[in-house]
A and B are shown apart, each in its own frame.
Chain A
Amino acid sequence: MNGLFPGFLTLSAAMFALGALGVMVRRNPLVVFMSIELMLNAGNLALVTYARYTHTMAGQVFALIVIAVAASEVVVGLALITGVYRSGRRLDIDDLSEMRE
């Protein structure tokens, strides 16, 4: 089991990098959301790995919290996206720049 730790961590890093790339290059907000979920889950994986490694529960507890946060974030985010969609606009994040000063 112990020998698998580097593997898990590498997987986590790869997932995180993929997610980050997705956030940066995609223009569809839904895909951006999926990328964010990917990054969060990469973090979860790392947390659980370290929890296992140190024989403590803290990492697992944090992972649970992250899942909860992710869920609530999706709720808010999807609501926003739905709102944008219902206002009759194209789902392209480059078009959503009203917050620019």
Chain B
Amino acid sequence: MTSVRCASEKAMNPTFTMVLCAVALGLPTAGFLVSALSAGKLPRRVVSFLGPGVVLGAFVATLILLAELLAQPPASRGITVAFWHWLNLSVGSGGGAVARSGFNADFSVRIDSLSVLMMLVITGIGGLIHVYSVGYMAEDPGYNRFFAYMNLFITSMLLLVMSENLIFLIIGWSMVAFVSYALIAFWYQRPAAVTAGRKAFITQVIGDVGLVLGAFLIFLNLRGSGGQLLHSVDLQTIFANVGPGAHNQNGLGSMGGGLVTTIGLLLFLGAAAKSAQWPLHTWLPDAMEGPTPVSALIHAATMVTAGVYLVARFHPIYQQAPVAAGVVAAVGIGTALMAAIIGCTQFDIKRVIAYSTMSQIGLMIFAVGAGAYSAGMFQFFTHACFKALLFLAAGNVIHALGDEQDIRSMGGLSTRMKLTFGAFLVGSLALAGIPFFAGWFSKEELLSSGLALGPAVPWLWVLGVAVNVLTSFYIFRVVWMAFRGQPATSRASTAHEARPVMLIPVLLLAVLATVVGFLNIDFFGFHPITVFSEFLQPVVGTPSAHASAGIQALALVIGTLLSLGGLTLVWMVYGRRLIAADLISRHLPWLYQLSLQKFYWDEIYDVTLVRPTVALAATVTQVLEADLFDELVKGVKQGVLTLADDLRTMQTGFFRDYALIFFVCAVIGLVVLGLRLA
């Protein structure tokens, strides 16, 4: 094993890779530091170039890394570059009772196809969104602060995906949570934004705790091939040793055992919080209080997909824990369905897209849970393109309408904002899985490979294709209500197309959303194009099972038909008005209310978690603190004062009384002493 790794590390030039990684990480960091430390004094013109520039610079470095990676044969595509001995605690191990080695957390990065893919999306899509922000945030007084946070986000996210050990993974994981909070609450004078930011941060911390506890379990229990405890936080070491081996003594215990299942579930707690999966999903819709570029970058394209990355990265553990992986898949598909149902009734354009994000990530989580890692990551890749596109196009609309987000107040925008409309349409087609747009390729591949893996998965597949019809329904509902029909307000009738700096990134993303799907066409048994899955194969391997060509074809046809069916439904409801829009709300009011009220999760958490905690806190303060501890202290004080009052009568003020008392006591003492001695 070691020799293979050595060989692979010789294949890529470590120094060159190191420089590139340093550039990719260093540029956004430098951008953040300059913007932050100048405390708003930097001219906007400088920031307008600095902010996007550093991210695009990092993108260039990533492209060179990609080229370097592709130049290698697949087996040797992977290198670990150690920068810095950040924290070395293994000095603590010695003989005797203290024989416990601490961890050795180097600041080292892992460059392989998975991390480079993530880096490409983060810096590439991120760069486009930065450019877009120059236009979107132009009038905002917090311009410099915005770019400082955005650059910090890029740094943190890169740290998360590049990290070679658990510690830095956790560090990046928590840092993106903070930046996400800071950007959601960017307009900090809006109470709703402040509350949304707090909610997001607290939910993320719950996930962080899960991740940290999972890391503890791995660190304390991982055994090497000889059965010795490894005490490693190094990802490659963990993955190389995770198998149970011959006697179930090494690794993390037996296949499917309690330990590895617990680890899998704890890690998924972190993933669920980050990726807005049930039960930790409620923060994402509220996060739309942030500026739209933030929603595009953090809450659609990159950060929320970190959970998918985590499960894909830790797939050796999930392969050992089928129960945990099953939970992941089921939660993913359940969230996808739930979010899609909610998306059908919302009126805030950003919230619809947010629920769509939640739903799509649910599908990805389903895929990685089921074992179709490459399909899940492919969905992540195409989704990043078309969801960023949707958000930015929506941002153009919102900007043109003066921060109006309700689709009922829009309408008829397709004639006034032709390019934005075209881009939004492309994004919708891709999202809905209409043939030959990016989403079609990835989603159908995801569903069909999901179909092949695992016993319960066919049932989950049925739910998955149900998501298809809902997806195309809710997104084309937005298209119809916002862009077709008559303008609902005067502002909507006088809207103008966006500035070029906001339009060009959108159009570029529209092109991407059309073409990236062709990277992987893997539906039928014959003559597939598998550029993408081959690229990821060195890291995640190939799926353990494939459905037969016939079943794949059937699944494809059913899935595509359902997507088209959703589109037709919208056309009949909103275009031709063949079906009344309030059909559901009249005949199935409970379903409509359930969807409109987001399945009441906010209320449920409010009643079961928030209020009890606040009530407990109030009880602690008002009952324990006030009635117990304070009364205790007061009681002691009262007792002493009463005693003192009683003793005061002895203070006669006559010296001779005191002397008498003194001598009498002394005599008594002497007598007692004498008796004791005798």
A interface residues with partner B (beta carbon < 8 Å): 20, 23-25, 27, 32, 93-94, 96-101
Contacts and interface: CB of A to CB of B under 8 A. Distances in A.
Contact of B654 (A20, A97, A98, A101): A97
B226 interface: no
Nearest to A100: B653
A100 B652 contact: yes
Contacts of A94: 654-656
A20 to B, nearest CB: 5
28 contacts: A20-B659, A20-B663, A23-B656, A23-B659, A24-B656, A24-B659, A24-B660, A24-B663, A25-B656, A27-B656, A32-B655, A93-B654, A93-B655, A93-B656, A94-B654, A94-B655, A94-B656, A96-B655, A97-B652, A97-B653, A97-B654, A98-B653, A99-B653, A100-B651, A100-B652, A100-B653, A101-B648, A101-B651
Contacts of A97: 652-654
B643 to A, nearest CB: 14
A93 B655 CA distance: 7
B657 to A, nearest CB: 9
Contacts of A27: 656
A32 B658 CA distance: 13
Nearest to B654: A94
Contacts of A96: 655
Given A24-B660, A100-B651, 20 more contacts: A20-B663, A23-B656, A23-B659, A24-B659, A24-B663, A27-B656, A32-B655, A93-B654, A93-B656, A94-B654, A94-B655, A94-B656, A96-B655, A97-B653, A97-B654, A98-B653, A99-B653, A100-B652, A100-B653, A101-B651
Contacts of B654: 93-94, 97
Interface string B286-308: 00000000000000000000000
Q: 5 closest A-B pairs (Cβ-Cβ)?
A: A100-B653, A97-B653, A93-B655, A23-B659, A101-B651
A97 B421 CA distance: 100
A25 B568 CA distance: 118
Main secondary structure of the interface of B (DSSP, over half): helix
Nearest to A93: B655
A25 B659 CA distance: 10
Contacts of A100: 651-653
Interface in B626-662: 648, 651-656, 659-660
A30 to B, nearest CB: 13
Main secondary structure of the interface of A (DSSP, over half): loop
A94 B653 CA distance: 8
Contacts of A32: 655
Nearest to A29: B655
Contacts of B660: 24
A73 to B, nearest CB: 15
Nearest to B660: A24
B642 to A, nearest CB: 15
**Residue of A24, A27, A96 with most partner-chain B CB within 10 A:** A24
Nearest to A22: B659
**Residue of B648, B656, B660, B663 with most partner-chain A CB within 10 A:** B656
Nearest to A25: B656
Contacts of B663: 20, 24
A98 B655 CA distance: 11
Contacts of B659: 20, 23-24
Nearest to B648: A101
A77 to B, nearest CB: 12
Nearest to A27: B656
A23 B655 CA distance: 9
A100 B659 CA distance: 15
Contacts of A101: 648, 651
A20 B658 CA distance: 12
A55 to B, nearest CB: 22
**Residue of A23, A25, A93 with most partner-chain B CB within 10 A:** A23
B646 to A, nearest CB: 13
B188 to A, nearest CB: 60
B677 to A, nearest CB: 16
A28 B660 CA distance: 16
Interface string B26-68: 0000000000000000000000000000000000000000000
A93 B659 CA distance: 12
A84 to B, nearest CB: 13
Contacts of A93: 654-656
A8 B295 CA distance: 101
Interface string B451-484: 0000000000000000000000000000000000
Contacts of B651: 100-101
B653 to A, nearest CB: 3
B654 to A, nearest CB: 6
Nearest to B663: A20
Contacts of B652: 97, 100
B650 to A, nearest CB: 10
A94 B658 CA distance: 12
B670 to A, nearest CB: 11
A94 B648 CA distance: 18
Contacts of A99: 653
B388 to A, nearest CB: 82
A23 B654 CA distance: 12
A79 B123 CA distance: 89
A24 B653 CA distance: 14
B648 to A, nearest CB: 6
Nearest to A94: B654
A27 B659 CA distance: 12
A99 B651 CA distance: 9
A99 B658 CA distance: 12
A15 B21 CA distance: 96
**Residue of B651, B654, B655 with most partner-chain A CB within 10 A:** B655
A96 B651 CA distance: 13
Interface in B413-436: none
A20 B654 CA distance: 16
Contacts of B648: 101
Nearest to B649: A101
A46 to B, nearest CB: 13
Interface in B556-610: none
Interface string B364-376: 0000000000000
A25 B651 CA distance: 18
A25 B652 CA distance: 16
A93 B652 CA distance: 12
Contacts of B656: 23-25, 27, 93-94
A100 B653 CA distance: 4
**Residue of B651, B652, B659, B663 with most partner-chain A CB within 10 A:** B659
B355 to A, nearest CB: 77
A101 B647 CA distance: 11
Nearest to B652: A100
